[in-house]
Amino acid sequence: MLLIRDAVQGDLPAMLAIYNYAVENLVATFDLEPQTLAQREVWFHKHGDRHPIIVAEFEGKVIGYCSLSVFREKPAYQKTTELSIYIAPDQSGKSVGTTLMSSILERARQLEYHTIVSGIVGGNDASVKLHEKFGFTLAGKFQEVGFKFGEWHDVHFYQWMVK
């Protein structure tokens, strides 16, 4: 059975492996070098009650995670948050993303956010479908803002208004 729960520091090695797979193989992140555990610890500690990280655990193993992060530092943005979601490569198509997304959106409601924003690299159809399934709409795109794997990539921004 799939368990969704708050991330704890002990989850970082599994989360790091999922993230570094994306760094090395996908354009889902624009990091160009694998992260270290120390770097992910800094990232982890930027989160907390207001900006949770949740994990999907199956048979004792973390197979995906999702987070809400500060969208911008200025105080007027405090009711807006940015969503990120990463799934282990061998778990694609198994509803892990759907379950994580459902949980994090409910958490956003409880935290009384007004708007959630996600940046999705052009061509990531699976992520677009997941976001659209939950009512995210395309708000706009920045063309050729990330250079990775020898190519320029667009970033499409999707937005969900919390109701």
Query: How far apart, in whole angstroms, are the C-alpha atoms of residue 149 and residue 22?
Result: 12
Here the tokens at position 118 are 């996600």
What are the residue boundaries of the structural domains of the chain, listed by start? 2-161
**Topology classification of domain 2-161:** Aminopeptidase (3.40.630)
| Alpha-carbon torsion (130, 132, 136, 138), positive or negative | positive
Residue 92 has pLDDT above 90, yes or no: no
Identity of residue 17:
A
Per-residue pLDDT, 67: 98
Residue 31 sits at the vertex; the CA angle it makes with 64 and 99, to the nearest 5 degrees, is 20
Residue 2 — very low, low, confident or very high, per pLDDT cuts 50/70/90?
very high
Per-residue pLDDT, 111: 97
Average pLDDT score over the chain: 96
Q: Whole-model pTM above 0.85?
A: yes
Residue 146 has pLDDT above 90, yes or no: yes
CA torsion angle 129 135 140 144 (round to 10): -20
